[in-house]
Amino acid sequence: MKNIERKPINIIFLDIEGVLATHRVQFSRFQRGLMESFDPVVVNFLDGVCSKYLCYIVVTSKSRIEYNDIEWFKSRMIQCGANHLDDFLFPDGELWRTTTTNFECRALEIDDWFTKFHKKHDDKFFINTYAVIDDNYLGSISMHDNHFVHVSKSCDGMAYKDFKKLVEILEKN
């Protein structure tokens, strides 16, 4: 009976550098240094995916510590052309990004996020499906591998094959 009351949600664990912020965008703007500008093509794609599949974004980037304000992050998404994506950041002041300090293994960060999610929201939601988008591998063999979109050309960000794989993962359920 408890499952009937809980709402299904879909999650996208999103890395920033090499996925959303790329060297391609930096170079096109003749900028050097840190990848700070978000790729409008990726932003628009994720905006559409989140709208169609009703996904929430959870930021897993190494620089997520710099993104300590969810409103600031939302404004960056809007500046890059998001129509709805800012509405799809996970609506929890603590869980809109991973917070584990183990930067060496993304899979452990995601495991920790799931533990925190279940403790806090298990009575309201259940995770229908999820995807992990990253330009680094998750770590040793991971239970998340079937949900993983590896962005292999991190200088250029997500490519068509990555977009296609994300949709395939989300359509499995």
List CB contacts of 120: < 8 A, sequence separation 6 or more: 92, 94, 95
**pLDDT for the residue 1:** 41
**pLDDT for the residue 57:** 92
Domain locations in the chain as residue ranges:
2-171
**pLDDT for the residue 97:** 83
**pLDDT for the residue 116:** 93
Parts of the chain with a pLDDT under 50: 1-2
Both tokens assigned to 152: 């292999």
Q: The domain 2-171: what is its CATH number? A: 3.40.50
User: What pTM does this model have?
Assistant: 0.86
Q: How many CB atoms lie within 10 A of CB 86?
A: 19
pLDDT tens readout for residues 96-142: 888 776 656 788 888 899 999 999 998 889 999 999 999 887 766 57
**pLDDT for the residue 63:** 63
